[in-house]
Structures are given as C-alpha cells and as structure tokens.
Amino acid sequence: MTDRGAGFRFALGSLATWRVAHLLAEEDGPFDAVVRLRLRAGNGALGELMDCFYCLSVWVAAPAALAVARSRREAPLTWLALSGAACLLERATADHVPVESEGAPHVLWEQAEVG
C-alpha cells in the first residue's frame, strides 16, 4: 500500500527545513531577534553552527524528519534527505556559487576560508 501524501509531506518538510535554516544562518529575523541570538552564541561551537547553513540544515531537519517519516525506522533516512533537499534549495537560490578554475563549485571551501 502506498502513501500518497508522502511526497507532499517531504516537500513541505524540505521547504520548512530550508526556511528555518536560512533564517538562522542568513537573516536578521524579525526585530533583529536572530542577530541578537547570534551575538549571544558568540564565537563558540553554537556561534559557528549558526554561521553555516549546511551545518544548520542537518539539525533543523531532525525534528522535521519526525513529522515527515511514516515510521521511526524511516526517520534517519528522512532526516538526511530533508537536509540534502534543503541544501539543494540553498544552492539553487544562492546569489552566487564560487567556481574553481576546473569548473567545480567549492561551497565548503568558501565557508572554511571565512571561518
């Protein structure tokens, strides 16, 4: 028996994961609430996590996976899939992607240079 709502739930979870991770990593938030949260996080592990969309997407996807997965057994794979979908959405909506001379994008390299 197939679950016809699984694709819809996955799409919804992917968009929600992207939205929350993007808000936390790239935006100021309403009334600068996210900026203040980033300042409180400082330069420690939590502060570094909030600067990396790709890292955040993994953790934001965890609770979303529990809502999207049909069973606990599917949750780990759904968790990674939601994070992956959010990363693809981020790449598709980014203003630019740095390109190395061979033509391969190096998103992680750019983040490592910033940190």
Digitized pLDDT (tens) for each residue of the chain, 115 residues in all: 356 788 999 999 999 999 999 999 988 888 999 889 888 888 888 888 888 899 999 999 999 999 999 999 999 999 999 999 999 999 999 876 555 545 555 555 555 455 5
- Is 82 among the domain residues? yes
pTM over 0.95: no
Please check whether residue 65 lies inside any domain of the structure.
yes
- The reply to whether 55 falls in a domain is yes
Distance from C-alpha of 62 to C-alpha of 60, rounded to nearest angstrom? 6
Give the torsion sign (CA, 22, 6, 58, 101): negative
- 1 is a domain residue: no
Residue span of the structural domain in which 86 resides: 6-114
Extract the runs of DSSP E, i.e. beta strands, from the chain.
none
Q: Is 13 inside any structural domain?
A: yes
Domains of the chain: total = 1
